[in-house]
Chains A and B, each alone.
Chain A
Amino acid sequence: MADENLVDKTATDIGEPTVSEPGMPQLDFTTWDNQIFWLVMALIATYFILSRVALPRIGGVLAERQGTISNDIAAAEDLKAKAVDAEAAYDKALVDARSEAGRIVAEAKAEIQADLNVAIAKADEEIAAKSAESEKAIAEIRAGALESVKEVAKDTAKEIVAAMGGKADAKTVNAAVTARMKG
């Protein structure tokens, strides 16, 4: 552009030949070919670095990570399903065990009850036998006691009659005592 004119003009106007004033360096077209050449070189280098090495590699890493993540998620879901299954199985086992235990308890109870009933029946029988025996014994004792009372009363009556001075024959006294005891 008008760079050289500008340099001359400002230099003479200000009167300082030591200070050079190139204007805007961006508009200094003598450096454009240099910049353009090296820019094209740099862009081509960058393009090849990116398209041949960097981008396929990073894209591969990202895809691989995506794959790994989805695989892991699938595996995690599998494991979760397994865990749910296991929990269901555990619950079922627990329920089974509980009902089994209940059954066993009921059985044991029934058995015990049966044993108990038998034992009670036996005990009842024994008690009944014993009490019958005892009643018999009591009845015997009572009968014996009545007999004894009769004997004692006859003897006492004979003795009293004898003591009174009367003559008493055994048959009459006995009949009188027996009649009196009955009365």
Chain B
Amino acid sequence: MAGDAKGGDELVFKPMDQFKVEPFFGSGDVAWYTISNATVWMALAVLCIFALLVLGSSKRSIVPSRIQSIAELAYGFIHKMVEDICGKEGLKYFPYIMTLFMFIVFSNFLGLIPTAFTPTSHIAVTVIMAMAVFLTVTILGFVKHGAGFLSVFWISSAPLALRPILALIEVISYFVRPVSHSIRLAGNMMAGHAVIKVFAAFAPLVLISTGIGLVVTPLSIIAITAIYALEVLVSFIQAYVFTILTCVYLKDALHPHH
């Protein structure tokens, strides 16, 4: 499908081309140190975080400006989430969770700019973040509770006969966590952007065949607008979901006893 382009007279479907990682300056191979488009958009996300949270709050005013109130809103949102789910002792890990949330939310939103690159649509990125969460939670659990952390798999409220089966299911679901955690974010981002791209490929149909094009082109543009609006929502919700699941996993490490 993506390779069907045969020249100017045909619709060009290349929904996956937007995810290509290329060197930002010049061309050639992408080595580990190359400044690629992924690098640039990650750096932009970091700059935006800096602008919002550091420059925005630089006045430390008691009556906040607009940017400062947005920064405070983000702070309060994540702070409350961590406190509600993990309890008071979870607040020690608040900067870590805030880092993940701000980075994901800004990558998602910056990726919505046309022609932008979305770092979070790449499995490489989300897998690293999810594995970081998974390893942190596992190591933290064993450090804090020793072998007692294993009781997270042993559901003491279930009937005794069921417990071994439930333990097996719990162990499997525990190890599937980083997979679903990472694929969910990357898949959502990838799917939304690819769908927009597919609809965008239909938009120039009016240039090729005027008859059908007069119907299809406006429809596809309306569809792009609608999907775009949905993507704005999804961008935030996926960042929220990633963060809240991080909190839930962290709670398991802090309080493994059900």
Which of A34, A38, A50 is in CB contact (< 8 Å) with B102?
A: A50
The answer to whether B123 and A51 touch across the interface, beta carbons within 8 angstroms, is: no
Contact with B along A30-47 (1 / 0, CB 8 A): 111111111111110111
Contact with B along A4-27 (1 / 0, CB 8 A): 000000100010100101111111
Question: For chain A, what secondary structure do more than half of its interface residues adopt (helix, strand, loop), or is it mixed?
Answer: helix
- Determine the distance from Cα of A127 to Cα of B121 in the docked complex, in whole angstroms: 124
- Determine the distance from Cα of A50 to Cα of B119 in the docked complex, in whole angstroms: 20
Which of A34, A61, A68 is in CB contact (< 8 Å) with B30?
A: A34
Interface centre among A10, A50, A64, by most B CB within 10 Å?
A50
- Determine the distance from Cα of A57 to Cα of B75 in the docked complex, in whole angstroms: 11
Question: For chain B, what secondary structure do more than half of its interface residues adopt (helix, strand, loop), or is it mixed?
Answer: helix
A105 to chain B, nearest CB (A): 57
Total B residues in contact with A, Cβ cutoff 8 Å: 56
The answer to whether B42 and A34 touch across the interface, beta carbons within 8 angstroms, is: no
Query: When A19-B3, A30-B30 are in contact, do A61 and B72 touch as well, CB less than 8 Å?
Result: yes
- Determine the distance from Cα of A21 to Cα of B53 in the docked complex, in whole angstroms: 41
Judge if B219 is at the interface, Cβ distance under 8 Å.
no
Residues of A contacting B36 with CB < 8 Å?
Answer: 31, 34-35, 38
The answer to whether A34 and B32 touch across the interface, beta carbons within 8 angstroms, is: yes
Judge if B29 is at the interface, Cβ distance under 8 Å.
yes
Q: List 10 A-B contacts (CB under 8 A).
A: A21-B2, A26-B190, A28-B21, A39-B119, A39-B124, A39-B128, A40-B128, A50-B95, A58-B71, A62-B75
B-to-A contact residues, CB < 8 Å: 2-6, 16-17, 19-21, 29-34, 36, 38-39, 42-43, 45-46, 49-50, 53-54, 57, 60-62, 64, 68, 71-72, 75-76, 94-96, 98-100, 102-103, 119, 121-125, 128-129, 132, 186, 190
A-to-B contact residues, CB < 8 Å: 10, 14, 16, 19, 21-28, 30-43, 45-47, 49-51, 53-55, 57-62, 64-65, 68
